[in-house]
Chains A and B, each alone.
Chain A
Amino acid sequence: MLDKRYMISDGLAFFEERDMKKLSKKAAKGWHLKRFRFAGYELEKGDSEEVIYNIDYRKLRATEEEEYFELFAYGGWTHVCSSTDMHIFKAAPGTTSIYSDAESSLDKLNRLAKPVNLVASVALAITIFLWIFMTFTSGTIQYIAQQGFAYSFIFTVPAVMTSCGVYYHMWKNLRLRSKY
């Protein structure tokens, strides 16, 4: 069956808007967002539809879910899918963005920054530790440290980049806000 397709994410921290626009273009061609997949999205074949997508990051308690999704529905936003703390909504073109003011969209970035920064700083600390170990030891221990460093480095680079992405958006957002 070829009614399903995978679309890779460009990285939500840096290119959230680009991902959402890409999803919108796919929907116009009849490929609709179905669910989150590892590092991307699963699309399903259907009728062509003009829609825009928005994403929100929020940890919801079971008691908060109904109120949260109800508000979006009332604002014209249909809930499409969620993955842990990420929720994607779609609406007709021209619908007011889910975040209509700079203050609360900055809050959204702050919420996103917490787990992202935690992962990045732990990864960075491990990498630095292994590097020191690798530099000041010799023999088998050095070899193990070198291997460990190589692996943790591969993981740390994207983690730190993601962190930078979030800060880049915060900076952009702050600059935008100071215009008003």
Chain B
Amino acid sequence: MKSLEQLTDSVFYIMAALTEPRHGYAVMSLIEETTKGTFVVGPASLYTIIKKLVAEQLIQLHDDSDSRRKVYVLTDKGREILLEDIERRKVMIHLAEQGLQRGNI
């Protein structure tokens, strides 16, 4: 994860889950449930990404009273990056949808 200009799907899902305060495995289960099990983040990937997002100050500890269940939440910078990536993804989807619609005529 050299640059976070383009978020990978895993990073995107994790940041999306952390729009609200959640601990690591709440993130895991939310992703699994929302995607009906089609996208699962492995624990080592999740841990690596969380560490990286903290280092890049895109997420922060929400409450560190419990060391077993550390709760994280997006920072302002994190929200900004996520919004940018949503726009980037919208362009992709828009292009595909428009193309498919024109192809149907």
Contacts and interface: CB of A to CB of B under 8 A. Distances in A.
Partners in one complex: yes
A86 to B, nearest CB: 13
A107 B68 contact: no
Contacts of B48: 99, 104, 107-108
Interface residues on A, range: 20 to 34
Contacts of B17: none
Interface SS majority for chain A: helix
A35 B70 CA distance: 29
A67 B49 CA distance: 14
A101 B69 contact: no
Given A63-B67, A66-B68, A100 B45 contact: yes
A74 B1 CA distance: 24
Contact of B8 (A56, A71, A75, A103): A103
A158 to B, nearest CB: 27
A70 interface: yes
A180 B44 CA distance: 21
Contacts of B52: 107
23 contacts: A54-B44, A63-B67, A67-B24, A67-B47, A67-B67, A67-B69, A68-B47, A70-B69, A71-B46, A74-B29, A74-B43, A75-B43, A75-B46, A96-B42, A99-B42, A100-B42, A101-B8, A101-B10, A103-B1, A103-B45, A104-B1, A104-B45, A107-B48
Interface of A: 54, 56, 58, 63, 66-68, 70-72, 74-75, 77, 96-101, 103-105, 107-108
